[in-house]
Structure 1
Amino acid sequence: GQDCKPWDRQYHVRLVSTNKTHENLCGGSLVNHQWILTAAHCWTTMFADIGVNPGPNTSQEITDIRVFSPDHDIMLVKLKNLTPYPYIALPKCLPCAPCLKRSIRVRDTCRNINQHFIHLGKLLMYISGKIYAVVSGGHPSFAFAKPCYFVRVCPYIKWIRSTIKNKP
């Protein structure tokens, strides 16, 4: 890898627990100036550090959490205030999205994985400035170095757009 510049990937968010340890829980991505897309297994009382990659950040309180369904590892969390940081674009979700043409071992080759998951080796979850998946499983220390599981964004795109548009 290579070091990020202060302006690289400013949509990255660190979700941190509000207990006394302030442990890192998960990462997420800003999908507009007030909503973060992340995995539902991260759900707990938390706050968000915005603009964490690679430098100084701004902490914000989470005011709303929307989980798609208990059976799906995807959620949106709402920040108390708008943030000036840039956010990542949502894909148009065409049937043959560009990321899915890459070397991804999909459901047919992965046991116990449903159609909403993809299993990846060394592949990023965003391509051409658009987010296509949320990290769901695998050891966080090995992200993008060893296989891990991602939840596809496209099956949830209507829910994501509706939630971030209709919730003031």
Structure 2
Amino acid sequence: MALLKVLLLLLGLGVSVNSAVSLQKRIIGGNYCDKTGRLFHVRLEGMSRSHRILCGGSLIHPNWILTSASCWTSKTGWINVAKLKVHPGTSKPRIPRIKANPVVYASEGSQHDIMLLKLPIEVSDVPLAQLPDCSNRPKIGDTVQLAGEGETNNRQISNAVAATQLQCVDMPVVEATHFLPTYGHVFSAKAQNKDVCYGDYGSAVMFKGKIYGVISPGGTDSECHSPVSIMDVCEYIGWIKTTIGSK
């Protein structure tokens, strides 16, 4: 996970911030994810000749990835790929190119920041993220787990670089589901000295072993922010199940 405040801390201590490795050792609030969990995590990359966008995603069906709509670039000259088996990094990632058009949720002519991507091949050897039990949604004060591969030292979303390992962080929910204009239905999580940043968008927010949220920029692309805006998967569960053909 990423935390912008660590840059100011390191500068104040006179520590060099030129090395990505040195920064990864000083991330505040995050730890390496358990090697047996989050095997469904997907690294999404959009690439052009001069830029690269990094995001996370979750395999929720053998053919479908759930992520943030902010993670897709359809401009001419860009290539979008999905890297499976990036966690825990014990095997070589599989990299299918995403050829199908993304399916973005839309209501009354407005798109929300949640998206499904259909893979060109069916995946049979990666565990799937479990969809939520929406009768038992996280409430204010409940702890959810966020994860991502964003790096602390990269504020440019157009040139994001993946961290060496997937990192997880626990945060309590501080705001219940509400509607955020231009983004959609979100809830929020926040904890002192913990945050997410570029490269973490689209990754799963877990509660009791199930995916209840998708990390979203939540209205700002200028810097890492707190509290974290999370797309509420339960608000879109009907659309998700209809799209992927699940009961």
TM range (shorter): 0.7 to 0.9
Task: State the one-letter code of the partner of 2:95.
Answer: S
Letter in 2 for 1:86: P
Q: Which residue of 1 aligns with 2:113?
A: 73
Query: Could you state the TM-score of these two structures normalised by the residue count of structure 1?
Result: 0.80
Matches within 5 A, 1:89-108: 89-94=130-135, 96-97=136-137, 99-101=138-140, 102=142, 103-106=172-175
Q: 1:30 to 1:22 in 2, by over 3 A?
A: farther
Paired residues in the alignment total: 160
RMSD value over aligned CA atoms?
Answer: 2.9
Instruction: State how 1:74-153 maps to structure 2 within 5 Å.
Output: 74-83=114-123, 84-94=125-135, 96-97=136-137, 99-101=138-140, 102=142, 103-106=172-175, 113=180, 116-122=185-191, 125-137=205-217, 146-153=226-233
Equivalent-residue separation in structure 2 for 1:24 and 1:5 (angstroms): 25
Shift of 1:142: 5.7
Aligned counterparts of 1:24 and 1:87: Cα–Cα separation in 2: 24
**Contact 2:67–2:214 (Cα < 8 Å) also in 1:** yes
1:19 to 35, 45, 48: 48
> What fraction of aligned residue pairs are identical, expressed as a percent?
35
SS at match of 1:156: helix
TM-superposed deviation, 1:3: 3.0
Matched, 1:48 2:82: yes
Structure with higher helix content: 1
- Checking the alignment, whether the CA contact within 8 Å between 2:187 and 2:231 is kept in structure 1 is yes
Give unmatched runs, 5+ long, in structure 2: 1-29, 75-79, 143-171, 195-203
Larger relative contact order (CA 8 Å, sep ≥ 6): 2
Aligned-pair CA distance for 1:6: 4.7
Match of 1:161, SS state, is helix
Tell me by how many angstroms 1:65 deviates: 1.1
**Counterpart in the other structure of 2:245:** 165
Answer whether contact 1:107 1:113 (CA < 8 A) is retained. Answer: no
Q: How does the TM-score come out when normalised to structure 2?
A: 0.56
Distance 1:104 1:6 in 2: 25
Q: Is the 8 A contact 1:16 1:22 kept in 2?
A: no
- The one-letter code sitting in structure 2 at the alignment partner of 1:82 is E
- Unmatched tracts of structure 1, length 5 or more: none
